[in-house]
């Protein structure tokens, strides 16, 4: 069964540095998402992306964050000037469509800011 | 935004027991998914069930969209069922899944 793959599985970064989290969505999917989960808390939506632009974003997704689909297969989340509170598990997801289509999640990247 | 409430927050079961997890939501939805988060943090997709009933082995789920709730049934529980179960919904017209706080299930031998 096709899967969403995320790299790296664990990223350790110094506070203030930039980090790029990478995702390869399922190949025929058209909609892409990033979510995050701070340790011990629920999963929170960050952003959705379709047709090379952001479709929807949450209050968390401020100017520190950006997303990009640099080629036909990768989908990236960039976090500039990382803060301690950015430490979390970041999940990428994809779906064939919106609404009446399930979202498929990757295994996540655990980001630790020191 | 839409509210998602899951109950119970914690559940301890003896191996072999059955359980029912509940998810209430505050608005009409066009997507409802149940996930199992294992001890390694992976989110395992259990069901996509915006309405109706589905079964997969020892697990089944029912969503009554008109009454805004969904139930996840686990029968003959095993220790490997331990973890956190999340319900997530998307409002009509929205792309984002809103997750509940989860039910932490512990199955003891």
Using pLDDT thresholds of 50, 70 and 90, give the confidence band for residue A99. low
What ranges make up the beta strands (E) of A1-97? 5-7, 10-13, 19-24, 31-37, 44-50, 53-57, 65-68, 75-79, 88-95
Q: Mind listing the pLDDT tens digit for each residue in A22-48?
A: 999 999 899 999 999 999 899 999 999
Q: Is B34 exposed, middle or buried (0-12, 13-18, 19+ CB in 10 A)?
A: buried
Mean pLDDT of chain B: 95
Averaged pLDDT for residues B26-51: 94
- C-alpha distances (whole Å) from B17 to each of B12, B71, B77 are 10, 17, 5
Measure CB to CB from residue A103 to each of B33, B42, B102 and give the nearest one.
Answer: B33
Using pLDDT thresholds of 50, 70 and 90, give the confidence band for residue A98. low
**Unique residue bearing structure tokens 């990757």:** A106
On whether any CB of chain A is under 8 Å from the CB of B48, the answer is yes
pLDDT at B92: 84
pLDDT at B37: 95
| Span B4-104 CATH architecture | Sandwich (2.60)
Residues of A in contact with B95 (CB under 8 A): 31, 33, 48, 50, 55-56, 98
| Domains recognised in chain A with CATH numbers | 5-99 (2.60.40.10)
Task: Check residue B50 and report its DSSP letter.
Answer: S
Mean pLDDT of chain A: 94
* CA–CA dist A18, A37 (Å, integer): 19
Q: Mind listing the pLDDT tens digit for each residue in B66-103?
A: 999 999 999 999 999 999 999 999 998 888 999 999 99
What are A95's two structure tokens?
A: 């779906």
CA distance A40 to chain B (A): 9
**Unique residue bearing structure tokens 């790296």:** A8
Is A35–B97 a contact, with Cβ atoms under 8 angstroms apart? yes
């Amino acid at each position: 069964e096709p899967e969403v793959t995320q790299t790296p599985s664990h990223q350790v970064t110094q506070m203030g540095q930039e980090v790029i989290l990478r995702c390869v969505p399922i190949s025929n999917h058209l909609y892409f998402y990033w979510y995050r989960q701070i340790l011990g808390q629920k999963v929170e939506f960050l952003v959705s992306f379709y047709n090379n632009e952001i479709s929807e974003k949450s209050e968390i997704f401020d100017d520190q964050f950006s997303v990009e689909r640099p080629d036909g297969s990768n989908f990236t989340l960039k976090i500039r000037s990382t803060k301690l509170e950015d430490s979390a598990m970041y999940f990428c997801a994809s779906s064939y469509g919106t609404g009446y289509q399930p979202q498929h999640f990757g295994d996540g990247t655990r980001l630790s800011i020191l | 935004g839409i509210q998602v409430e899951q109950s119970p927050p914690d559940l301890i079961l003896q191996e072999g027991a059955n359980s029912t997890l509940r998810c209430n939501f505050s608005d009409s939805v066009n997507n409802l998914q149940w996930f199992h988060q294992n001890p390694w943090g992976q989110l395992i997709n259990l069901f996509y069930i915006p309405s109706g009933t589905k079964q997969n082995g020892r697990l089944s789920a029912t969503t009554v969209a008109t009454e805004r709730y969904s139930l996840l049934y686990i029968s003959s529980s095993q220790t490997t069922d331990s973890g956190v179960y999340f319900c997530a919904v998307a409002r009509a017209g929205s792309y984002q899944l809103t997750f509940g706080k989860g039910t932490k299930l512990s199955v003891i031998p």
